[in-house]
Amino acid sequence: MTDYLGYGYSALILVGGAVGYFKAGSLASLISGAVFGLAAGAASYQVSNNPKNVVFALVVSVLLLISMGIRFNKTGKFMPAGLITVLSLLMSLRYGSRLLQQ
């Protein structure tokens, strides 16, 4: 069972990091987008191969939820911090519920 939502989440993070770099010249956005996007992609690959293997995916989404939630709280800007916070919350709930169902 392919984790399409996880792969979409991963792609959005990667693209967001690139957009942050090209739009604002933020090297930090590029690096964090690449690190978190690739980690989310690797987690989606794991979940696709074994739907019960959600711990890494949960950790990645919770870390991104915390980091972008703090940023959203400081800036109050929905784009991009608020959007990634909401998506990370949804992915954390998704993976967390899968973990609890085991």
Q: Is 40 left (phi over 0), alpha (psi -120 to 50) or beta?
A: alpha
| Rounded CA separation 95/91 (Å) | 6
Q: Quote the pLDDT of residue 102.
A: 87
What are the tens digits of pLDDT across the range 46-99?
Answer: 999 999 999 999 999 999 999 999 999 999 999 989 999 999 999 999 999 999
Taking the whole predicted model, whether its pTM rises above 0.85 is answered as yes
* Both tokens assigned to 5: 């939502």
Residue 33 has pLDDT above 90, yes or no: yes
Residue 45 has pLDDT above 90, yes or no: yes
